[in-house]
Structure 1
Amino acid sequence: MAEARRVRAAELFEQERSNAEIARTLEVSAESVRRWKRVWERGGTHALRRRPATGRPSKLDDAQVEQVRTVLEQGAQAHGFEADLWTLERVGLVVERVTGVSLSRASVWRLLTGRMGWSLQRPERRAVERDESEIARWIAHEWPRIKKGR
């Protein structure tokens, strides 16, 4: 959406509209319009388009990421962990076993959330002995009696 606004601003610059009019039309601040205009004057509409993020390239290529995804989907117990729960440390160990690439905890987090699209999931803490039918019975029969004070 932000890029679309900048591109629309470029069209309005070409029509020689005032900065104030462009700001009102696009519902942005006048300062944004001034900044976009400076960029547009130097590099045209192309300069206002999004550019890919810069920085160090990923240590894992796309094929390795898919390999990691396949392995993680098997579950933690399939890889020798006692509980079927993934932690950043465990994922890091598995990534290193599968690909030979060692990642920091922050890099593991970026891999899981950014490249793989996974999100944080915390397991519900419930007693193993929990009896759902007994809970439902208690709520239906005992709780109303207690609430009434009988």
Structure 2
Amino acid sequence: MRYPQGCGLTAERRAFRERIRMEAAGMFAAGQDNAAVAKELRVSVRSVRRRRRSWQEGGRQTLHSKGPAARPEPNGALFAVLEQEPAKGPVAHGRPDQAWTLARIKTLIGRRFHRTLTLSAIARMLRRHGGSHQVPARRAIERDEDTVAGWVKETWPRVKGPRRRSAAGSSSRTKPVSRWALPRFP
């Protein structure tokens, strides 16, 4: 099931699920068994058992939604402050070079905001705010275009290696040649 904007349920779906849980609470109070509640509400018996246990421990209020299970996405206020930190440069944050990586941004967020985000959440946040991992905002001062051009022409072809020749064989790594490619003997 895909959710709108990639996060959580719609308001209508949340209200529907809340209504189902409250109906289940009424059925629990009426003394109906788990199978009857599951059949009536069209949910699994396992889910009914879990809800009944929760209802018995704390009553009707324990069946109310506690919000989304996932951590909330980083908000705009966090990003506004975070945007100023990388502008100072990695050297200002104790890094020896001018490169920002997702791991370094994760460390920065942890130190500055005392929050832990996954690398994919950081990448999504950066993409959402127009960031790109491929194009830097400005070129490094130390960059020498002649050296880069020479490396691409001379060193890269040696490092890359020659292209593999196409030859008859199998695409399977475990089976070198198909049995149909071998000659048949009578």
Band of TM-score, shorter chain: 0.3 to 0.5
Q: TM-score, normalised by structure 1?
A: 0.44
TM-score (normalised: structure 2): 0.37
Structure of larger gyration radius: 2
Give 1 or 2: higher helix fraction.
1
